[in-house]
Amino acid sequence: MHFRHIRAAVVAALAVGAVGSAFAAEEGYLFNDSHFHLTNYVQKGTDVHKYVTEIMGNKVGRSTLFGIPLQQTWSHENSGDFAPTYYLQSDAALYYYSFTDAMIARAYQTLPRDQQLRLDPMITGFNPADMYAVDHIRRCLELFPGVFSGIGEFTIHKEFVSSKVAGDTASLTDPALDRILDFAAEAGLAVILHNDIDMPFAKAGAEPVYLTQMKDLLRRHPKTTIIWAHTGLGRVVHPAQAQASNDPEQRSPNHREIIEAILADPSLSHVYFDISWDEVAKYAITSPETIERTAAMLNRYPDRFLFGTDNVAPTEQATQLRVYNLWAPVWAKLTPEASLKVRRGNYERIFDAARVKVRAWEKANP
């Protein structure tokens, strides 16, 4: 390609806020972070300038940027003078904190343009059980044009969290959630959705409780780019184990087989998985066998996985790299092509496309 054509392509990409894969490849970053929380459960966290310059630094090329949509109540009756900062530190309720999106947008806007281009802010501060949630998402795009690339991480089913949320319980069958995903398709927003595939301490060998509902939801929204966070696993939601049977047709699939069946399903080609969180990494590296099987799956479907840290308000770069380093045994067994796609390429492809689509929607809907 002639230089002037390359330059024209770069200028066009920057005009819509995209950063091409060539930039990340040239810089030699280790990974792009598809799952990052700047703030915690009481809306405090890392200074965004420090995050980009010191914590991302020369190791993390690009990153999503979002808070946590839920605020932990400080109930003096429950914890006295102890101020909880995490949902497991109190029995008091969690509630949706919509101002988190304004905080993320304003933080992003304080950065110089070259640093903004490394971040993809996401809208999270909405209640997925509220039919008006779409209006909140739309207002965020209207009030902060040029900022957001997607929605999430937001949660439907999550161990210990869902039961603590004040108000109606979120559900995979709720029309409010369908409205959200329909609008995401319309506006081009990428979606990061947390939904535990099963209930905590589920019976071994049984189909994960939420699997069928989740697949039905995904099939209802074929035009929406959906990233299923943590492949559906949680702190106490372990990978499903296959139950042996003399009849092969009666054998229940294990977690990896469930994920691969989704990846092989043409009706679910719009679905991706992030392998964020140290809780997920520990399952992948449990044994030489799990390492081999995980690597084999990523090599078979290299276009469908994104790496992320799921770190919450880190204070140093070492924290950001720890989850990445946990995956070292798996990285070592990936083909160079698969490794690059999972660590960086799929992020760039999905979020570059989201930037273009969302900016076009904003321009058409001033």
- Cα dihedral value 205, 206, 211, 212, nearest 10: 140
- 299-356 confidence digits (pLDDT tens): 999 999 999 999 999 999 999 999 999 999 999 999 999 999 999 999 999 999 999 9
- 209-251 confidence digits (pLDDT tens): 999 999 999 999 999 999 999 999 988 887 877 655 555 555 6
Confidence of residue 6 (pLDDT cuts 50, 70, 90): very low
Which residue ranges form the domains of the chain, and what is each CATH number?
Answer: 3-364 (3.20.20.140)
